[in-house]
Amino acid sequence: MTPSSPAHANRSDVVRQVAVVAATCLMIAAAMVGAGLFGGTPVQDLQGGALDVDGSYLAPARPAFSIWSAIYIGLVAYAAWQALPQQRADVRQRAMGWWVAASEVLNGLWLLAAQFADLPTTVAVIFALAGVLALAFHRAVRTAREGLLPALLIDGVTGLHLGWVTIAAVANTAAWLTRTAPEEWADAAAVAGVVALAVIAIIAVGIGWRGRGRLAPALALAWGLSWLAVARLSGEPASTAIGVTAAAVAVIALGATLAFRFSRRAAS
């Protein structure tokens, strides 16, 4: 009898499985409102357009947001998979389930905050989401993985979510500051953007190191940063310095993660 056998399950395992499914449903419902269904306003039109591609110097181009489709599909697949009886008492599910559920609730709350609250509230929620995802990814790394499906649905989906939300948190903060900062700060916007991207580079290297070379966070970071570079080099507000720096940080995020990955393989 293995540790993941249903015979070892208890009531709290069932509660966790139900909570993950319920959180996933909440997230999808909020995403539909955020897409403009059920009378909601599309995210890019909320907050006076502050969250759109031209809302700040650190907003990625619109195609970047298609990554949400991959994240949502992955989270729905995870919810269905973790609900199977054979996953009920699995060690990784016990370590991850509640954190994934919390991330989905916060994901949905951000969309509702964007619809019905203000920019400072969205910033607070998205940083809470980033913190929960960082803890979830840490737990994913600490627990052993076996097989392709767990690697995709636990490490992969959580990593994509974390990488993208890291970019989204910075863009959300920039949108808020753009709307509230004094006009005289505008001249320093490009410098502040480059500094923010340097911080993202440090975070990306840290995730690659602590993630033991797992690729999903770096792929999401590189995706978002690449579209940020496109937005600043070919759209408004334009900034060559931010565009070039974003492209460089995308390379750093992927390169550092691959270096950690190959060094671990060489050492094993």
Higher pLDDT, 7 or 260: 260
Domain coverage including residue 133: 6-267
Residue 89 pLDDT grade (very low, low, confident, very high; cuts 50, 70, 90): very high
Query: Does 33 score more than 90 pLDDT?
Result: no
pLDDT tens digit string along 45-58?
788 877 888 889 99
- What is the average per-residue pLDDT within 186-209? 93
Give the pLDDT of residue 126.
97
Q: Is residue 1 part of a domain?
A: no
Domain count, the chain: 1
Q: Is residue 149 part of a domain?
A: yes
Give the pLDDT of residue 5.
42
Residue 4 pLDDT grade (very low, low, confident, very high; cuts 50, 70, 90): very low
Query: Does 163 score more than 90 pLDDT?
Result: yes
Give the pLDDT of residue 116.
87
Tokens coding 138: 């840490």
- What is the average per-residue pLDDT within 189-206? 95
Q: Is residue 258 part of a domain?
A: yes
pLDDT tens digit string along 170-191?
999 999 998 887 777 777 888 9
Give the pLDDT of residue 265.
80
Give the pLDDT of residue 159.
97
- What is the average per-residue pLDDT within 158-164? 98
Give the pLDDT of residue 140.
93
